[in-house]
């Protein structure tokens, strides 16, 4: 694309300012900027700005209806065993893939690297990625089947994620079973809908939200690869739960028996005002309702048992049917807007960082896809066993709370065997994911030999 062609593309949308430093750039930078303009879709950005910023829908009269859930704790042993066996069968036949969305910027954590590389301070020093990889290895061992692992990164953390896996020898997994692909980006705009420059020759580009994952999976060839491998069930999850049971056979078995387009693991809200999205039918379509959107009287409504009516909280833990995903991908992603601080350049081309929000970012949310599902099935699980989020640098949902939860769970399993460890214990996921794999005799020896409580 030439400079004139770029100008012609931008002028109708009032975006020609993107070329205002063109003359000051080196010829290589000029070529690069023209390529960025070529890849830009100014019409989509203009439409998003008009729809989400200028004319946002403010009075949507949605009707909400509660969604039933099954509590794992209420299932009898026979039922649990049936789920386990049926899940293992699917895994053994190679019908299950893991799909991790790890393209977030992790701004609340303030960690300058891929969130999955974060060390939450366990005695073993294992990162979130390592905990997940070892759980995949564990389930492969239990089932005898291979689990392909699709990892969505972002352009910002892609290379570093690859390096981290290489550095750690893919945590013992076969590199061939892991695919990495970056999600797409969208430029941010200012208050007037003008696309921001991140630098004199660089258009701002932020990850297009977790909902960018399905398109990215398709464009990377991941969807085709899943078909080729005979995948039927996609275990979909977020990067920052230190207790996530990747491809849990109980859950796969549950999803298979319920036979819905989407099955989700949830945890019960601790109180009505907890900041977590909940499941409900919105205008009869399966949905996740953000806590900010749930009217207070509904948030506080209870069942005769005293349980919250809208009490099943989202923990980004789902099983999607591949057939459903392929169909749902034909629908446009729905974007949301966030008012945020984005670094840009001033009229003189100097980098500036505003203190107050200066930009609108457009982001798609993965769960918007669920409204195209015929129905969903919910499995409430125990928070202490399955949900230790790492969102903040300190305080609630931080590395400290997550580490404490992992250690408390492992230690409770050891105590249940009648052993009395002198310190908190960390059990390798390769050894144990549910507690039921442990044997007292064997464990005592390992405990005695461990210098720091970490048991491999």
Binding site for ligand UTP (CB under 6 A): 101-109, 115, 152, 183, 207, 209-210, 238-240, 316, 391
Burial class from Cβ neighbours inside 10 Å (0-12, 13-18, 19+) for residue 319 reads buried
Q: How far is the CB of 305 from ligand UTP (least distance, A)?
A: 31
SS3 label, residue 180: strand
In the complex, minimum distance from the CB of residue 259 to ligand UTP, in angstroms, rounded to a whole number: 27
Question: Least separation, in Å, of the C-beta of 340 and ligand UTP?
Answer: 10
Question: Of the two residues 203 and 309, which places its CB atom closer to ligand UTP in the complex?
Answer: 203
Nearer to ligand UTP, 180 or 413 (CB): 180
- Cross-strand bridge partners of residue 120: none
CA distance 100 to 86: 23
Instruction: Locate the DSSP E strands across 222-343.
Output: 233-238, 262-268, 278-282, 285-289, 312-321, 335-340
Whether residue 189 contacts residue 160, with contact meaning beta carbons closer than 8 Å, is answered with: no
Q: Which is nearer to ligand UTP, 276 or 378 (CB)?
A: 276
Distance of closest approach, residue 262 Cβ to ligand UTP, in angstroms: 17
Q: Judged by CB, which is closer to ligand UTP: 209, or 311? A: 209
Spatial CA neighbour of 19 closest among 354, 2, 187: 2
Distance CA 153, CA 163 (A): 12
Question: In angstroms, what is the minimal distance from the CB of 276 to ligand UTP?
Answer: 12
d(CA 181, CA 203) in angstroms, rounded, equals: 21
The residue sitting closest to ligand UTP, measured at its beta carbon, is 104
Question: 45 vs 146, which CB is nearer to ligand UTP?
Answer: 45
Nearest distance, CB of residue 73 and ligand UTP, angstroms:
26
CB of 422 to ligand UTP, least distance (A): 36
Q: List the one residue out of 445, 447, 441 whose CA is nearest residue 427.
A: 447
Could you tell me which of 328, 208, 214, 313 has the C-alpha nearest to residue 270?
Answer: 313
Using CB atoms within 10 Å of the CB of residue 213, give its burial: 0 to 12 exposed, 13 to 18 middle, 19+ buried.
Answer: buried
Q: Shortest gap between Cβ of 1 and ligand UTP (angstroms)?
A: 28
C-beta of 104 vs 222, nearer to ligand UTP: 104
Return the C-alpha torsion angle 137, 140, 146, 148, nearest 10: -50
Using left for φ > 0, alpha for ψ between -120 and 50, and beta otherwise, residue 120 falls in alpha
What 3-state class would DSSP assign to 165? helix
Kind of pairing, strands 64-66 and 278-282? antiparallel
The smaller minimum CB distance to ligand UTP, of residues 103 and 286, is found at 103
Q: How far is the CB of 150 from ligand UTP (least distance, A)?
A: 12
The secondary structure element, H or E, covering residue 403 is helix 399-416
Q: Of 207 and 453, which CB lies nearer to ligand UTP in the complex structure?
A: 207
CB of 208 vs ligand UTP, minimal distance in Å: 6
Judge whether 243 and 387 are in contact, CB under 8 Å. yes
């Amino acid at each position: 694309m030439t400079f004139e062609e770029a100008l012609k593309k931008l002028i109708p949308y009032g975006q020609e300012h993107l070329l205002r430093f063109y003359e000051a750039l080196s010829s290589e930078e000029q070529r690069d900027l023209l390529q960025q303009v070529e890849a830009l879709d100014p019409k989509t950005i203009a439409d998003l700005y008009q729809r989400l910023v200028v004319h946002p829908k403010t009075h949507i009269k949605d009707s909400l209806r509660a969604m039933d859930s099954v509590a794992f704790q209420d299932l009898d042993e026979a039922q649990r065993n049936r789920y386990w066996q049926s899940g293992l069968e699917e895994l053994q036949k190679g019908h299950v893939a893991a799909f991790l969305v790890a393209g977030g910027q992790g701004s609340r954590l303030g960690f300058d690297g891929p969130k999955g590389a974060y060390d939450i301070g366990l005695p073993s020093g294992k990162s979130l990625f390592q905990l997940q990889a070892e759980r995949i290895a564990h389930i492969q061992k239990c089932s005898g089947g291979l689990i392909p692992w699709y990892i969505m990164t972002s352009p910002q953390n892609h290379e570093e994620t690859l390096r981290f896996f290489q550095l750690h020898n893919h945590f013992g997994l076969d590199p061939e079973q892991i695919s990495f692909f970056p999600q797409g980006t969208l430029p941010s705009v200012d208050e007037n809908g003008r696309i921001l420059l991140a630098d004199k020759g660089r258009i701002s580009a932020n990850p297009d939200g977790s909902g960018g994952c399905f398109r990215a999976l398709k464009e990377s060839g991941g969807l085709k690869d899943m078909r080729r491998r005979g995948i039927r069930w996609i275990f979909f999850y977020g990067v920052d739960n230190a207790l996530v049971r990747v491809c849990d056979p109980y859950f796969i078995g549950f999803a298979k028996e319920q036979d819905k387009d989407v099955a989700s693991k949830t945890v019960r809200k601790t109180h009505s005002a907890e900041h977590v999205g909940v499941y409900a039918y919105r205008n009869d379509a399966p949905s996740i309702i953000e806590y900010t959107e749930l009217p207070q009287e509904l948030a506080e409504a209870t069942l005769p048992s005293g349980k919250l009516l809208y009490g099943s909280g989202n923990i980004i833990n789902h099983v999607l049917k591949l057939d459903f995903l392929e169909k749902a991908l034909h629908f446009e992603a729905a974007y949301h807007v966030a008012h945020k601080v984005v670094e840009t350049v001033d009229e003189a081309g100097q980098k500036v960082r505003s203190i107050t929000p200066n930009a609108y970012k457009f982001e798609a949310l993965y769960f918007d896809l669920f409204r195209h599902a015929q129905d969903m099935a919910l499995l409430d699980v125990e928070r202490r066993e399955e949900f230790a989020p790492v969102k903040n640098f300190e305080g609630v949902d931080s590395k400290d709370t997550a580490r404490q939860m992992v250690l408390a769970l492992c230690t409770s399993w050891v105590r249940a065997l009648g052993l009395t460890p002198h310190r908190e214990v960390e059990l390798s996921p390769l050894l144990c994911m549910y507690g039921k794999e442990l044997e007292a005799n064997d464990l005592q020896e390992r405990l005695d030999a461990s210098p720091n409580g970490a048991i491999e």
